């Protein structure tokens, strides 16, 4: 049961992290001599660029919150439920 939750959390973390790194590499790496992946968001993008930046932020938070959910919150809930049942 715990290995299944770990695999789900790891899948969410790696999949969303890869999406975030790809979009951050495209939009937040102005040049390779300075900031990479964490540079400022560009301005003056079109509709698709703005959608990509929104997806980038959503992927970041989904990676963090998804992994925490499967690695911390669900096991803690199950342990608390078992403790109350005893």
**Tens digits of residue pLDDT in 6-43:** 999 999 999 999 999 999 999 998 888 877 888 888 89
**Tens digits of residue pLDDT in 53-62:** 999 999 999 9
pLDDT for 1: 67
Express as a percent the part of the chain with pLDDT over 90.
Answer: 74
pLDDT for 84: 95
Exposed e or buried b for every residue in 3-35, given b needs 16+ CB within 10 A?
A: eebeebbeebbeebbebbeebbeebbeeeeeee
Tell me if the pTM is above 0.75. Answer: yes
Please determine, for residue 2, whether its predicted confidence score (pLDDT) is greater than 80: no
């Amino acid at each position: 049961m715990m290995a299944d939750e770990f695999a789900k959390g790891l899948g969410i973390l790696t999949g969303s992290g890869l999406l975030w790194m790809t979009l951050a590499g495209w939009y937040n790496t102005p040049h390779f001599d300075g900031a990479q992946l964490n540079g400022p968001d560009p301005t003056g993008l079109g509709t698709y660029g703005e959608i990509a930046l929104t997806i980038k932020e959503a992927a970041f938070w989904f990676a963090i919150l998804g992994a925490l959910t499967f690695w911390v919150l669900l096991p803690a809930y199950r342990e608390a439920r078992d403790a109350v049942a005893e």
